[in-house]
C-alpha cells in the first residue's frame, strides 16, 4: 500500500517546491537538499508541532518517577518546574515508531538522574514518529526547531549556556539532535553552541551520503560521539550509518550486526526492503541505546581501540591501546582527552552478547608443561569471589609442552578481580587417556594500558580436570 503513496509524493515533488511556516519556528521548504534529490525524494514537508504532540518531560532528583511537562511556548512551565540552571541538562530523543512517554527514553533519564545531579528531559514526539519512515524523518526538522526554541528560552531566562547541554538521540533522533545543534551554532557571541551530542546508531536511509546540513555531523556540537550498531553497507541491510559522522565514532562488534541478536534477516533482499523500513524493534539498532545505558554503570567495560577496520582490530593489530590511551564508548566518551583530534575517528571493541554487555580485552598467553603432541583444546577460566567465568579457549590442535599459546580474548567479567585462574584441557577422541598437560604460567596483558600480570601453576592434570593457578 505504502509504495503507492510514495509514488504519489514523488510526482508531487517533481512539480514545484513547497514551503510551510509555523509560528515561532520559521519556514521549512522542500527544496534540495531537504528533498527533491535522488535518495531524498520521498522526504516531504514537516508536520506542525501541534500535530506531533511534542512533549518535554523533565526528570530531576526532585521529580522522582513523575516528570514535569515543559511547554516550549510557555516559559512559565520551565520557571515553575524543578529545572535548575546550576546543573547540566541532558535531552534523550527517540527515533522512528518509538515513544518518550515510557520505555528506554524514560529509563535512561531515571538512570542519569540517579547517578548524577542533572536535569534530564525525555523528548516525546510519538505522534510524529508513528507514520511512515520518510514522514517521520521529515518531521525531525520541526522537532529540532522546537527543541532549539526551548533551549533558546533557557538561554534567555537563565543565561543558561547551551554548552551545558548534551543531546542523546537514537536513529532519526540522532539527526534531530544534529538539527538542534545546527540551529544553535553561534546563536550569539557569548554562547558557542551545544556542548555535546551523542548519536546512537544515527539513521542511514536518507541521511548517509547527504550534505552535513540534513544530518548529524561534527560541527553540530562542541563534541559529537557516535555509536554504530546496525550500519548498512551492502550486502548487509541496516538502519544505521556506516561512515564516521562525529568526532569519535564507535563500532562495537564491527558496527553492523550485534551478538545476542538472533534475527536472521540481515542480508539484503530487495523485496524485504519495505518490511525492514517499517520494522519496529530492530535488535541491532536498539543495542546502541542499551550499550549507552550500561556504559553509565560500567564505564571500564567499554574501552574502544583506534583502528583502520574491524578486521584489523580482530587480528590484533590495534592491541593494546596507544600511549595516549583509548576512549570509553558511551556516557564517558567525553573524558577522552584526545577526543577532538579526529585523525582516526574509528574506534572498535567487542561486547558481550548479553546485559550488561561489558567486556575487557586481554592478550592471554599460556606456557604449557607435560607432554608433546597431545591433540586437544585448552581453556582457561577466571575464578572470582562470586563464582567463575566461562571457559575461554586459548589453543587447540597439537599441544606441546614448553610452547606458549596466546590469544586475544574479550573477557566478560573484569579479570582484574580474579583471584585464581583455572586451566583445563579437553582431549580429542583418539588422544591417549593417560595424556597430561599443565599450565606453567599464564600471562595476561591488559588492553587498556598494556599492564601485565601472571598466574603460576605446578604439575599437570588429565583431561577435564581443572588445574588451579595463583598470582605470581
Ligand X SMILES: *[C@@H]1O[C@H](CO)[C@@H](O)[C@H](O)[C@H]1NC(C)=O
Which positions are catalytic? 171, 201, 285
Q: Rounded to whole angstroms, how far apart are CA atoms 457 and 462?
A: 14
Interface residue with ligand X, options 19, 62, 272, 311 (CB under 6 A) = 272
Q: How far is the CB of 337 from ligand X (least distance, A)?
A: 24
CA angle 292, 296, 297 (to 5 degrees): 120
State which residue, 64 or 459, has the beta carbon closest to ligand X.
Answer: 64
Interface residue with ligand X, options 33, 75, 101, 127 (CB under 6 A) = 127
Q: How far is the CB of 15 from ligand X (least distance, A)?
A: 27
Q: How far is the CB of 408 from ligand X (least distance, A)?
A: 5
Q: Which residue has the cell 578481580?
A: 417
Would the annotation count 274 as a binding residue? no
State which residue, 183 or 367, has the beta carbon closest to ligand X.
Answer: 367
Angle between helix 104-115 and 283-297 (nearest 10): 10
Residue by residue, what is the 3-state secondary structure of the chain?
CHHHHHHHHHHHHHHCCCEEEECCCEEEECCCCCCCCCCCCCCCCCCCHHHHCCEEEEECCCCCCCCEEEECCEHHHHHCCCCCCCCCEEEEECCCCCCCCCCHHHHHHHHHHHHCCCEEEEEECHHHHCCCHHHHHHHHHHHHHHHHHHHHHHHHHHCCCHHHEEEEEECHHHHHHHHHHHHHCCCECCECCCCEEEEECCECCCCCCCCHHHCCCHHHCCEEEEECCCECECCECCCECCCCCCCEEEEECCCCCCCCCCCCCCECCHHHHHHHHHCCCCHHHHHHHHHHHHHHHCHHHHECEECCCHHHHHCCCCCCCCCCCCCECCHHHHHCCCCCCCCCCEEEECCCCCCCCCCEEEEEEEEEEECCCEEEEEEEEEEECCEECCCEEEEEEEECCCCEEEEEEEECCCHHHCCEEEEEEEECCCCCCCCEEEEEEEEEEECCCCCEEEEECCCCEECCCCEEEEEC
Candidates 76-84, 183-191, 264-272, 321-329; binding stretch for ligand X (CB under 6 A): 264-272
Contact 184, 144 (CB under 8 A): no
State which residue, 65 or 190, has the beta carbon closest to ligand X.
Answer: 65
Interface residue with ligand X, options 76, 117, 265, 393 (CB under 6 A) = 265
Q: Is 406 in the site for ligand X (CB under 6 A)?
A: yes
Q: Is 192 in the site for ligand X (CB under 6 A)?
A: no
Site residues for ligand X, 289-318, by CB under 6 A, read 316
Would the annotation count 212 as a binding residue? no
Q: How far is the CB of 16 from ligand X (least distance, A)?
A: 27
Site residues for ligand X, 5-34, by CB under 6 A, read none
Q: Rounded to whole angstroms, how far apart are CA atoms 366 and 368?
A: 6
Interface residue with ligand X, options 187, 277, 408, 468 (CB under 6 A) = 408
Would the annotation count 217 as a binding residue? yes
Candidates 141-149, 153-161, 257-265, 289-297; binding stretch for ligand X (CB under 6 A): 257-265
Q: Is 80 in the site for ligand X (CB under 6 A)?
A: no
x-or-dash string of contact with ligand X, 365-404, rule CB under 6 A: x---------------------------------------
Interface residue with ligand X, options 24, 62, 74, 263 (CB under 6 A) = 263
Q: Which residue has the cell 601453576?
A: 457
Q: How far is the CB of 406 from ligand X (least distance, A)?
A: 4
Q: How far is the CB of 161 from ligand X (least distance, A)?
A: 31
What single-letter DSSP state applies at residue 233?
Answer: B
Q: Which residue is nearest to ligand X (CB)?
A: 316
Interface residue with ligand X, options 27, 186, 234, 264 (CB under 6 A) = 264
x-or-dash string of contact with ligand X, 235-254, rule CB under 6 A: --------x-----------
**Residues that contact ligand X, how many (by CB under 6 A):** 18
Interface residue with ligand X, options 65, 190, 267, 343 (CB under 6 A) = 65
x-or-dash string of contact with ligand X, 29-58, rule CB under 6 A: ----------------------x-x-----
Interface residue with ligand X, options 8, 26, 209, 322 (CB under 6 A) = 209
Q: Which residues bind ligand X (CB under 6 A)?
A: 51, 53, 64-65, 127, 208-209, 243, 263-265, 272, 316, 319, 363, 365, 406, 408
Q: What residues form the annotated binding site?
A: 215, 217, 220
Annotated binding site for Ca(2+): 215, 217, 220
Amino acid at each position: 500500500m505504502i509504495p503507492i503513496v510514495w509514488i504519489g509524493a514523488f510526482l508531487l515533488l517533481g512539480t514545484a517546491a513547497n514551503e510551510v511556516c509555523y509560528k515561532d519556528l520559521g519556514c521549512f521548504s522542500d527544496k534540495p537538499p531537504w528533498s527533491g534529490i535522488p535518495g531524498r525524494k520521498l522526504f516531504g514537508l514537516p508536520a506542525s508541532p501541534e500535530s506531533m504532540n511534542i512533549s518535554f518531560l523533565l526528570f530531576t532528583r526532585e521529580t522522582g518517577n513523575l516528570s514535569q511537562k515543559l511547554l516550549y511556548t510557555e516559559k512559565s512551565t520551565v520557571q515553575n518546574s524543578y529545572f535548575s540552571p546550576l546543573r547540566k541538562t541532558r535531552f534523550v530523543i527517540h527515533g522512528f515508531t518509538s515513544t518518550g512517554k515510557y520505555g528506554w527514553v524514560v529509563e535512561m533519564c531515571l538512570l542519569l538522574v540517579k547517578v548524577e545531579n542533572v536535569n534530564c528531559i525525555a523528548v516525546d514526539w510519538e505522534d510524529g514518529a508513528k507514520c511512515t519512515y520518510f514522514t517521520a524523518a521529515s518531521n525531525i526538522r520541526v522537532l529540532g526547531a522546537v527543541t532549539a526554541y526551548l533551549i533558546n528560552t533557557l538561554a534567555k531566562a537563565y543565561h543558561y549556556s547551551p554548552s551545558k547541554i548534551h543531546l542523546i538521540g537514537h536513529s532519526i533522533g540522532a539527526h534531530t539532535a544534529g538539527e538542534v545543534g545546527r540551529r544553535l551554532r553561534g546563536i550569539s557571541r557569548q554562547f558557542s553552541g551545544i556542548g555535546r551530542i551523542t548519536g546512537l546508531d544515527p539513521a542511514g536511509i536518507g541521511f548517509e551520503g547527504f550534505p552535513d546540513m540534513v544530518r548529524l555531523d561534527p560541527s553540530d556540537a562542541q563534541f559529537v560521539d557516535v555509536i554504530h550498531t546496525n550500519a548498512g553497507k551492502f550486502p548487509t541491510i541496516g538502519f544505521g550509518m556506516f561512515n564516521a559522522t562525529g568526532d569519535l565514532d564507535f563500532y562495537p562488534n564491527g558496527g553492523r550486526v550485534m551478538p545476542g541478536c538472533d534475527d536472521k534477516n540481515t542480508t539484503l533482499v530487495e523485496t524485504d526492503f519495505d518490511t525492514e523500513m517499517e520494522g519496529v524493534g530492530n535488535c541491532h539498532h536498539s543495542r546502541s541505546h542499551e550499550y549507552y545505558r550500561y556504559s553509565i554503570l560500567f564505564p571500564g567495560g567499554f574501552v574502544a581501540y583506534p583502528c583502520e577496520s574491524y578486521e584489523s582490530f580482530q587480528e590484533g593489530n590495534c592491541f593494546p591501546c596507544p600511549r595516549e590511551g583509548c576512549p570509553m564508548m558511551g556516557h564517558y566518551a567525553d573524558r577522552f582527552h584526545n577526543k577532538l583530534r579526529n585523525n582516526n575517528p574509528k574506534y572498535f571493541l567487542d561486547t558481550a552478547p548479553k546485559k550488561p554487555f561489558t567486556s575487557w580485552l586481554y592478550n592471554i598467553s599460556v606456557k604449557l608443561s607435560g607432554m608433546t603432541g597431545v591433540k586437544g583444546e585448552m581453556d582457561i577460566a577466571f575464578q572470582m569471589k562470586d563464582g567463575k567465568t566461562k571457559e575461554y579457549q586459548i589453543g587447540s590442535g597439537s599441544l606441546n609442552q614448553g610452547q606458549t599459546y596466546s590469544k586475544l580474548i574479550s573477557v566478560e567479567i573484569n579479570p582484574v578481580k580474579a583471584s585464581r585462574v583455572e586451566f583445563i584441557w579437553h582431549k580429542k577422541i583418539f588422544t591417549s587417556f593417560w595424556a597430561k598437560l599443565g599450565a606453567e604460567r599464564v600471562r595476561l596483558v591488559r588492553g587498556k594500558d598494556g599492564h601485565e600480570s601472571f598466574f603460576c601453576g605446578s604439575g599437570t592434570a588429565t583431561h577435564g580436570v581443572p588445574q588451579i593457578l595463583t598470582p605470581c
